[in-house]
């Protein structure tokens, strides 16, 4: 590993649970959980506590990291590159509101804090989120990637109409030198209105202009070669691939085609029609042993992809960035249900004018987005059987509308109505009107997903009770990244958790335990008890 930096802890915890060396942090932690069983015949509930001792090991060496985006020339891709360059070079630029300095506002890893404890006067004491354990800095990212359009990133940035003109002017020269690698274009998976844009495809004949969906295994090999070349040319230790390209239609799950790893690989080699471009990128990344993150709502991770990741020990995470409207929904729905209020309908309306909106104007692509946006309240509903049951109804009437309106550009308009039932037949209606700059909300999520995925790749563990001698990596699906994703993948047999507060609590508790601190609670006995 070509080490850029060593992490030096600035927070010293008085504990015998963890120890630092120059290159490793090792921590012992006892995980206690409550396992519940219900006797259906008499309704009695039995709770058993389980304990498992773990030893975690964190590699403190910070690697030189490469980031390859699928959709590099899109709104998110160009905004991501611009954010890295602007912050790395400490760019200042003018807006109508005055002089601004580059920052990473909106990023949890770069701009949020975490409670460490209380000070001598009982006040909460906060530290930067990224100060507890060693995270790579986005300023050090080496960025490349693919796009179906061949515009250089300066022209693509101007086309996206996301960033202030003066910032574009200051970054234009450097970004004009960056040109996306040819990508994969299977017309059946994205809207027909994207065809004119697709002039940079490895599967389009330069002479005839025709697109071929044959040779899909050669496309896997080309993507693998691109990753290898990018890593070698930039002398990188690691690469992470992230999909931020167009939303695809859902792929049909077909027995014998994409249901197992072996069937999937055979189906790719046989050019089966239900193999999506995003799945090609996922398979190529898994075979290269690099983490792959899906930032769009389509079902890239068909069962065969998950099976392949498990067998390869590769890391994956998805699906769909959880940025504005859906993030608010995951918080507000949880708040209402936790307050004993019963949401009976949620109506969500969006209109936006960027290329994402243009692609989503196609019904099959919209359906992928609808599924990911609806699923965000499922675990909230399941958490309260008093409000939601067979007698009173166990569903929320949930409607989602997305319309393309060119004039609003990247400023997505979201309007939501939460209609809830109160006691004794009463009702409550909450209406929210939210205007957000879509790519400036999504880009910090990309940063966080990459930072956290890379960190998780440096964490290993072993079970002490079982007498295990060797350390293991995390399970292939990085569930910790669910905080930033609308429809997070989960291990088979486990229910997806979408509540934002629960996801954040899990993240904070994990970072705390690694430096020898217990999970945070708010009992505050100092002020409540004599």
Which alpha helices (H) appear in 206-276, and where do they start and end?
A: 216-233, 261-269
Question: What's the predicted TM-score (pTM) here?
Answer: 0.92
> Residue 339 above 90 pLDDT?
yes
> Residue 198 above 90 pLDDT?
no
Percent of the chain with pLDDT over 70: 95
Helix (H) or strand (E) holding 55: strand 45-59
**Contact, 25 vs 133, CB < 8 A?**
yes
163 vs 145: CA distance, rounded Å: 20
Q: Where are the domains of the chain?
A: 325-438
The beta strands (E) that lie in 249-395 are given as 292-294, 316-318, 342-352
181 vs 296: CA distance, rounded Å: 20
pLDDT in tens, 455-508: 999 999 999 977 778 999 999 999 999 999 988 888 888 877 888 888 999 999
Looking at residue 465, what is its pLDDT? Answer: 78
**Residue 381 pLDDT grade (very low, low, confident, very high; cuts 50, 70, 90):** confident
Catalytically active residues are 320, 369, 412, 486
Looking at residue 361, what is its pLDDT? Answer: 58
Stretch 422-429: mean pLDDT: 94
> Residue 229 above 80 pLDDT?
yes
**CATH: 1.50.10.10, 3.30.420.10, 2.60.40.10, 3.30.360.10. Which one for 325-438?**
3.30.360.10
Looking at residue 459, what is its pLDDT? Answer: 97
More confident residue, 168 or 435: 168
More confident residue, 367 or 273: 273
256 vs 357: CA distance, rounded Å: 34
Reading the block at residue 279, the tokens are 């799945």
**Residue 451 pLDDT grade (very low, low, confident, very high; cuts 50, 70, 90):** very high
pLDDT in tens, 55-99: 999 999 999 999 999 999 999 999 999 999 999 999 999 999 999
What does pLDDT average to over the chain? 91
CB burial of residue 323 (10 Å; 0-12, 13-18, 19+): buried
> Residue 369 above 60 pLDDT?
no
Stretch 189-210: mean pLDDT: 86
> Residue 277 above 60 pLDDT?
yes
**Residue 359 pLDDT grade (very low, low, confident, very high; cuts 50, 70, 90):** low
**Residue 412 pLDDT grade (very low, low, confident, very high; cuts 50, 70, 90):** confident
> Residue 404 above 90 pLDDT?
no
Long-range contact set of residues 108-112: C-beta below 8 Å, sequence gap at least 24: 108/444, 108/448, 108/483, 108/484, 109/135, 109/447, 109/448, 109/451, 109/452, 110/138, 110/444, 110/447, 110/448, 110/451, 111/444
Instruction: Choose the weakest-confidence range: 182-186, 218-222, 228-232, 380-384.
Output: 380-384
Stretch 287-316: mean pLDDT: 96
């Amino acid at each position: 590993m070509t080490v850029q930096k060593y992490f030096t802890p600035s927070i010293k915890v008085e504990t015998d649970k963890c120890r630092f060396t120059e290159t490793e942090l090792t921590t012992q932690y006892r995980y206690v959980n409550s396992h519940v069983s219900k006797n259906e015949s008499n309704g009695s509930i039995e709770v058993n506590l389980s304990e498992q001792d773990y030893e975690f090991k964190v590699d403190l060496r910070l690697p030189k990291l490469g980031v390859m985006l699928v959709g590099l020339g899109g709104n998110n891709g160009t905004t991501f590159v611009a954010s890295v360059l602007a912050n790395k070079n400490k760019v200042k630029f003018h807006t109508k509101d005055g002089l601004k300095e580059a920052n990473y506002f909106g990023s949890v890893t770069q701009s949020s804090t975490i409670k460490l404890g209380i000070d001598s006067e009982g006040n909460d004491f906060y530290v930067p989120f990224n100060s507890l354990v060693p995270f790579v800095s986005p300023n050090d990212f080496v960025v490349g990637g693919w796009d179906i359009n061949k515009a250089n990133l300066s022209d693509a940035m101007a086309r996206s109409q996301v960033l202030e003109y003066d910032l574009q002017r200051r970054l234009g020269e450097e970004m004009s030198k960056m040109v996306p690698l040819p990508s994969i274009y299977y017309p059946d998976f994205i809207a027909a209105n994207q065809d004119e844009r697709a002039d940079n495809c490895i599967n389009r004949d330069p002479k005839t202009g025709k697109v071929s969906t044959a040779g899909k295994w050669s496309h896997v090999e080309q993507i693998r070669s691109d990753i290898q070349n990018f890593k070698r040319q930039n002398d990188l230790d690691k690469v992470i691939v992230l999909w931020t390209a167009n939303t695809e239609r859902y792929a049909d799950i077909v027995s014998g085609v994409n249901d197992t790893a072996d069937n999937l690989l055979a189906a790719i080699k046989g050019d089966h029609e239900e193999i999506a471009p995003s799945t090609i990128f996922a398979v190529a990344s898994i075979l290269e042993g690099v983490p792959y993150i899906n930032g769009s709502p389509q079902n890239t991770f068909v069962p065969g992809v998950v099976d392949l990741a498990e067998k390869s020990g590769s890391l994956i995470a998805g699906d769909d960035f959880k940025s504005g409207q859906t993030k608010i929904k995951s918080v507000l729905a949880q708040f209402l249900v936790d307050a004993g209020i019963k949401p009976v309908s949620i109506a969500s309306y969006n209109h936006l004018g960027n290329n994402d909106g243009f692609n989503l104007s196609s019904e099959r692509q919209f359906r992928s987005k609808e599924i990911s946006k609806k699923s965000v309240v499922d675990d909230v509903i399941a958490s309260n059987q008093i409000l939601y049951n067979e007698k009173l109804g166990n569903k929320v009437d949930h409607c989602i509308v997305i319309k393309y309106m060119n004039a609003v550009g990247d400023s997505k308009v979201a309007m939501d109505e939460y209609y809830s039932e109160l006691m004794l037949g009463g009702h409550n209606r909450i209406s929210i009107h939210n205007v957000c700059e879509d790519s400036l909300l999504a880009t910090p999520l990309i940063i966080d997903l990459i930072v956290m995925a890379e960190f998780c790749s440096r964490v290993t563990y072993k079970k002490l009770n079982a007498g295990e001698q060797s350390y293991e990596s995390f399970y292939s699906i990085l569930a910790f990244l669910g905080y930033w994703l609308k429809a997070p993948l989960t291990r088979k047999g486990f229910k997806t958790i979408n509540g934002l507060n629960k996801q954040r609590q899990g993240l904070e508790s994990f970072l705390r335990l690694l430096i020898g601190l217990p999970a945070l609670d708010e009992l505050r006995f100092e002020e409540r008890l004599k």
